[in-house]
A and B are shown apart, each in its own frame.
Chain A
Amino acid sequence: MSFTVQHLNAWYGRKQALYDVNLSFGSQSVTAMIGPSGCGKSTFVRCLNRMHEEIPDARVTGKVLVDDVDIYAQSIKPRHVRQHVGMVFQQPNVLPTRSIFDNVAMGPRINGHAHRSDLRELVERSLRQAALWEEVKEQLHAPATQLSGGQQQRLCIARTLANQPQIILMDEPCSALDPISTLQIEELIDELKQIYTIVIVTHNMSQAGRVADRTVFFLLGRVIEEAETSKLFSHPQKKETEDYVSGRFG
């Protein structure tokens, strides 16, 4: 599966947030987006599943090609894109009025991808993939809010997985979590990348070092540098990259 971005520009009203981004993602790999606050990495990732345009007055130009199909084509609806490009958010956003089972089943239910009997199987599979099954299998119908923060985030991951996307976007998925949960999720990402293509935004450089195959450095809405992770950190080509990774600014 090929996944490329060509000449992507994005605006919030009059203010431009992304300038001519061109990137290519390998399939079944993890790519990390790093950069200081406000550099556009979150905006970028939201353009990949057409969430950016949900903001009033937001605008995107350029192409995002999945298997050579531009998701921004006129004939394509954003919600169909989002079934294939899933997203996990910074704050775990489980649906508070629904049970654990219902949360995971929500995607397939509304998209009509599975029926009753298959649903149970799909939910179990997704929860296993998210390394949450063992902890919740006895209480699938308990409210999702009973889970801890780390568990809720894994539930959100399971929910995304149940929709069977090809690409998973993660916008700082661990920043609201404790270190142990963070580690659990990083291990999870390591397993998931064998099946899915993952793009992760992180402000934590060591996290990028731990999980990502390739890393992209953003600054002020532009891609400054993109390389294999270890190379980016040990031998950055650009001065700005070097300044950032050595902590001269953040």
Chain B
Amino acid sequence: MSTTVSERKNSASNPFKPPPSAREIQRQFNNGCLIVLATLFALLAVGVLIFLLLYVILNGIRYLNLDFFTRLPTPNGEPGGGMGPAIQGTLILVGLASLIGIPLGLFTAIYLSEFGRGRLANAVRSLVDLLTGVPTIIFGLFAWVIIVVPQETFSGFSGGVALGIIMIPIVARTTEDVLRLVPREQREASLSLGATEARTTFRVVIPAALSGIVTGIVLAMARVAGETAPLLMTAFGTTFRNTSIFEPMDALTLRVYNFTLSPYQTQVNQAYTGALVLILLILIASFTVRWFTGGFKRKF
């Protein structure tokens, strides 16, 4: 039954310390449970990450030496060798991808932020957003069909194209976000001084947003450096020197994938080291760029 104001006032000498009823205990308990579980799960998430990192670092560091960066993988599990071509391949592939991803992403962002109005712009934006949710293996399939099949060979070129398509929406979104942050007044000031839109965009807006744009680009590059699935059917991988981009090309992710599943322990060891190098590459890229540009925007 409900209590009235005066009843409660008189019921205890201290109305601010209600007697522990079942309800009160329940509330305390629920609250406590929440705090405990929330803290536990947050620790779990962080713990898993740290465990994973330590696992890779501790196993991988053993075989990390100069040879790893320069030599070819040895055949059939003989000891020694390295992942030279794989590392070189990743760098080349990311470079190729950037040639496609950066201009297309950048100009799409410019369109969306500077010109785009109405339904077409919304459609473009939705299309670009949808692109980000597509599993990357699909782009590998696409590049396979339009490049590998007609050329009748796997190639680094097709891998670069696949990765480039993956980069487009990432660059476009991060760039559009920072471009929008540039105050309208700056554009208007430039235009009112007689500058063309082109000059305004390239001399005023982009420089103002430059650190954000660079961050977005570097993060996109780090992202594609870690991709494996689209490369399976495009670059395909090789254990020999990379000769040309129109031949099969190796990549760090492909080599790690391959060697992880290998029956030879020596190759498995190299897989750990490859994983370590990959993580370091991504981490260093992500954090130096954020350090230099002072930004810590969360994007995924």
Contact = CB atoms under 8 A, between A and B. Distances in A.
Touching chains A and B, CB distance < 8 Å: yes
B39 interface: no
A84 B16 contact: yes
B2 to A, nearest CB: 4
A168 to B, nearest CB: 11
Nearest to B26: A112
Contacts of B2: 108, 113-115, 118, 121-122, 164
Interface residues of A, number: 26
A160 to B, nearest CB: 13
Contact of B17 (A67, A75, A108, A114): A75
B15 A84 contact: yes
Contacts, number: 48
A114 B3 CA distance: 8
Tell me the dominant secondary structure on chain B's binding face. Answer: loop
Interface residues of B, number: 16
A113 B3 contact: yes
B18 interface: yes
A80 B17 contact: yes
B24 interface: yes
Contact of B16 (A80, A108, A112): A80
Given A1-B9, A112-B21, A112-B24, A76 B16 contact: yes
A175 to B, nearest CB: 28
A71 interface: yes
29 contacts: A1-B9, A66-B16, A67-B9, A69-B14, A69-B16, A71-B16, A73-B16, A75-B17, A76-B14, A76-B16, A76-B17, A81-B16, A84-B8, A84-B15, A108-B2, A110-B27, A112-B23, A112-B27, A113-B2, A113-B3, A115-B1, A118-B1, A118-B2, A122-B2, A164-B2, A164-B3, A164-B4, A166-B9, A195-B5
Interface in B1-48: 1-5, 8-9, 14-18, 21, 23-24, 27
| Residue among B4, B15, B17 with most chain A CB within 10 A | B15
A81 B16 CA distance: 6
A164 B15 contact: no
Contacts of B15: 66-67, 69, 84
| Residue among A71, A121, A122, A164 with most chain B CB within 10 A | A164
Given A84-B15, A114-B1, 15 more contacts: A69-B15, A69-B16, A76-B14, A80-B18, A84-B8, A112-B23, A112-B24, A112-B27, A113-B2, A115-B1, A118-B1, A121-B2, A164-B4, A164-B5, A166-B9
Contacts of B14: 69, 76
Interface string A100-133: 0000000010111111001001100000000000
A1 B6 CA distance: 10
Interface in A138-165: 164-165
Nearest to A164: B5
A235 B79 CA distance: 98
Contact of A166 (B1, B3, B5, B17): B5
A164 B16 contact: no
A195 B9 CA distance: 13
Nearest to A165: B5
Contacts of B21: 112
| Residue among B2, B4, B16, B24 with most chain A CB within 10 A | B16
